[in-house]
Amino acid sequence: MAKAINGKAGLIHTADMAVAYQPVEESDWGLIITENEHELYSPLYWKMAVIGALTFLIYFIVLFGFWFIMKPMAGKILLHADELEKKIREKTAILEKEIIVRKKAEKEKEETISDLQEAMLKIKF
């Protein structure tokens, strides 16, 4: 009380009480308010708990929504990947067959050139 009368303002915490003091201007009076800390802070603690719970609830709703949206998309992506893999296998088989045909044609060409060169040598003699 003496601090409030001397013109000082402040807040003191004791074991379970909060004491606020303030001088009353233009007088020798002081104002002191005491409140149990549990009663003083319980609305704040309640609001913090509600905000925390709502935050987690919103987080889980967003997480569930993301999962709910992404699950069908993941299935489509996997299906698309399977289709692409099938097309790649088909194209690879076609290219392998074409390589075999070209190698055979190259071999036949080399044999034909060799036969023609032998025939030209026989004609010259």
Q: How many domains does the chain have?
A: 1
**What are 62-95's pLDDT values in tens digits?**
999 888 888 777 767 777 777 888 899 999 999 9
Q: 125 lies in a domain?
A: no
**What are 47-65's pLDDT values in tens digits?**
999 999 999 999 999 999 8
Domain limits for position 29: 2-101
Q: 122 lies in a domain?
A: no
- Report the 3 state secondary structure along the chain: CHHHHCCCCEEEECCCEEEEEEECCCCCCEEEEEEEHHHHHHHHHHHHHHHHHHHHHHHHHHHHHHHHHHHHHHHHHHHHHHHHHHHHHHHHHHHHHHHHHHHHHHHHHHHHHHHHHHHHHHHHC
Please report the pLDDT score of residue 124 as a whole number.
77
Q: 120 lies in a domain?
A: no
Give pTM, 2 decimals: 0.42
Q: 79 lies in a domain?
A: yes
Q: 123 lies in a domain?
A: no
Q: 52 lies in a domain?
A: yes
Q: 24 lies in a domain?
A: yes
Q: 112 lies in a domain?
A: no
Please report the pLDDT score of residue 59 as a whole number.
96
